[in-house]
């Protein structure tokens, strides 16, 4: 496992599911972690407390990061409490599943705002500090839905495809400044969010099972510790999409 001792990470959407395991994995690799949340303060505080009990450094930082000022505030709060930010994990998201003929303009707008716009605002808030320090890792959690369309809806697939484009742009723009940017595209990871959609079954996956959160978080740690992988979309999907 990579040694991230001395690094500071901000993980959005880290009060549960994949984000929670990413926070734990980064802490285990030595990073100090800001556990981002929108509404689940109790869950985020529990994640931060678990990290502290295991000897790590962590704080819970809250707010709706689809608001650009709140994104700036979270980056500032992270740095005020933990030190200069180096690792940004854009994980915050929703998956409002609807039948195709029931998806509304409001569903579209909310999904794009929460899944895609929030990642833009957080990254934009963090980039000036990363550039100043000539070191950074931007890691964005997309989905197999960006590659195959998925089973949730066009609003979700479009938001996740946008995240890949966002990650690739930052990779190209910042490659000469010590900053990498990559996306991870998981499929059917066993979380609370997955269980809410009855259309999602392990039979969709060639390996015949749901993925586990640690199988995503281990890739985050890999990317956080590697300065030569950039502009890539790493598929963690049990063979559903083969690139």
Residue 205 lies in a domain: yes
Residue 215 lies in a domain: yes
The lowest-confidence range among 11-25, 95-109, 164-178, 212-226 is 95-109
DSSP 8-state symbol, 211: B
Mean pLDDT, residues 237-241: 93
Question: Domain of 74?
Answer: 8-236
Integer distance in angstroms from the first to the last C-alpha of the chain?
A: 25
Q: How many domains does the chain have?
A: 1
Catalytic residue of the set 24, 37, 156, 170: 156
d(CA 210, CA 71): 32
Residue 136 lies in a domain: yes
Residue 206 lies in a domain: yes
**Could you write out the DSSP letters of every residue in 60-113?**
EEES-TTSHHHHHHHHHHHHHHH-S--EEEE---------GGG--HHHHHHHII
Give pTM, 2 decimals.
0.95
pLDDT at 64: 96
Residue 242 lies in a domain: no
| Cα distances (Å, whole numbers) of residue 18 to 73, 101, 173, 187 | 23, 30, 28, 12
pLDDT at 96: 87
Whether 156 is catalytic? yes
Is a pLDDT exceeding 90 seen at residue 2?
A: no
- Residue 195 confidence class, pLDDT cut points 50, 70, 90: low
CB 2 within 8 A of CB 27: no
Residue 52 lies in a domain: yes
């Amino acid at each position: 496992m990579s040694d991230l001792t001395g690094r500071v990470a901000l993980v959005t959407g880290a009060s549960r599911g994949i984000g929670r395991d990413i926070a734990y994995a980064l802490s285990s690799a030595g990073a100090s972690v800001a556990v981002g949340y929108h509404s689940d303060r109790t869950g985020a505080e529990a994640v931060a407390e678990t990290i502290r009990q295991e000897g790590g450094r962590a704080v819970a930082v809250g707010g709706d990061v689809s608001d650009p000022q709140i994104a700036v505030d979270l980056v500032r709060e992270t740095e005020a409490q933990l030190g200069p930010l180096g690792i940004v994990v854009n994980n915050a998201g929703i998956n409002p599943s609807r039948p195709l003929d029931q998806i509304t303009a409001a569903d579209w707008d909310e999904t794009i705002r929460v899944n895609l716009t929030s990642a833009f605002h957080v990254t934009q808030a963090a980039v000036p500090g990363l550039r100043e320090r000539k070191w950074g890792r931007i890691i964005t959690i997309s989905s197999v839905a960006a590659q195959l369309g998925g089973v949730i809806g066009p609003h979700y697939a479009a938001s996740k495809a946008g995240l890949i484009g966002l990650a690739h742009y930052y990779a190209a723009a910042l490659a000469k400044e010590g900053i990498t940017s990559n996306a991870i595209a998981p499929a059917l990871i066993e979380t609370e969010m997955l269980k809410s959609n009855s259309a999602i079954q392990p039979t969709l996956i060639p390996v015949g099972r749901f993925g586990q959160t640690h199988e995503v978080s281990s890739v985050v740690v890999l990317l956080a510790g590697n300065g030569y992988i950039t502009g890539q979309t790493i598929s963690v999907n049990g063979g559903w999409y083969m690139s």
